[in-house]
A and B are shown apart, each in its own frame.
Chain A
Amino acid sequence: GAGVSQSPSNKVTEKGKDVELRCDPISGHTALYWYRQRLGQGLEFLIYFQGNSAPDKSGLPSDRFSAERTGESVSTLTIQRTQQEDSAVYLCASSSLSVGEQYFGPGTRLTVT
């Protein structure tokens, strides 16, 4: 079956603009995660969705970052008033809670100029 997909694959934006990143999880996976990977570093957890429960937003670095997910479908990560330090690869993962393994999408490479 299809894996996790993300769009766009690359995004270049000017400092101060808003961007929206999209994630399509694996069908049937109830949990969805967003991570950020800065150049040469490991992944940082951003936010977690599980069904209709309140999301865990503990990893969001500032109030410029927000994310939504409707039910068990697509999620969007929005970054407002982008800054150069927001440049990174943003990775989405989904999992079936009963198993726990997280399957990652290819990521969106965001460059803020």
Chain B
Amino acid sequence: GEDVEQSLFLSVREGDSSVINCTYTDSSSTYLYWYKQEPGAGLQLLTYIFSNMDMKQDQRLTVLLNKKDKHLSLRIADTQTGDSAIYFCAESRGGATNKLIFGTGTLLAVQP
């Protein structure tokens, strides 16, 4: 099937690290993405990783990819209240369309 799965909710304290997990089904995925959606706002591309990479770091964000287990994670260091949002992972299967298959989203709540 085309399911991309995420846990629904994560609560952390300000200053702690957050780890949001995602599992996907298609081993032919070429790119994997993390998007952030704040209330009433559109999707903001945070970062992405190519499928032949294991890790990508971008400031406070670290993406880990375990291709064997089809597992993707997003680590946010020093989480701030402004990081509170819904985080979506998405896989791209390339080809002519490059359509994205999205997970259901993880709501990250950051407690002060």
**Which residues of A are interface residues toward B (Cβ below 8 A)?**
4, 31, 33, 35, 40-45, 48, 50, 53, 56, 59, 91, 93, 95, 97, 100-107
State the CA gap A93–B103 with chains docked (Å).
17
The residue from B41, B45, B102 contacting A43, defined by CB atoms under 8 A apart: B102
The residue from A44, A56, A59, A91 contacting B42, defined by CB atoms under 8 A apart: A91
Cβ-closest chain B residue relative to A104: B43
State the CA gap A83–B1 with chains docked (Å).
27
A48-B99, A59-B99, A104-B43 provided; 15 other pairs, C-beta below 8 A?
A: A33-B99, A33-B100, A35-B100, A35-B102, A43-B88, A48-B98, A53-B96, A91-B42, A100-B92, A100-B98, A102-B45, A102-B100, A104-B35, A104-B42, A107-B42
B104 in the interface, Cβ–Cβ < 8 Å? yes
Task: Please state if A43 and B100 are interface contacts (CB–CB under 8 Å).
Answer: yes
How many whole Å from B72's CB to the nearest CB in chain A?
A: 14
The residue from B31, B33, B42, B100 contacting A45, defined by CB atoms under 8 A apart: B100
The residue from B4, B92, B96, B98 contacting A42, defined by CB atoms under 8 A apart: B4
Interface residue total, chain B, C-beta cutoff 8 A? 23
Within 8 A of A (CB), among B52-88: 88
Task: List the A side residues contacting B97 at CB < 8 Å.
Answer: 48, 50, 56
Task: List the B side residues contacting A43 at CB < 8 Å.
Answer: 43, 88, 90, 100, 102
How many whole Å from B10's CB to the nearest CB in chain A?
A: 16
Q: Give B25-49 as 1s and 0s: 1 = Cβ < 8 Å from A's Cβ atoms.
A: 0000001010100000111110010
Task: List the B side residues contacting A40 at CB < 8 Å.
Answer: 104
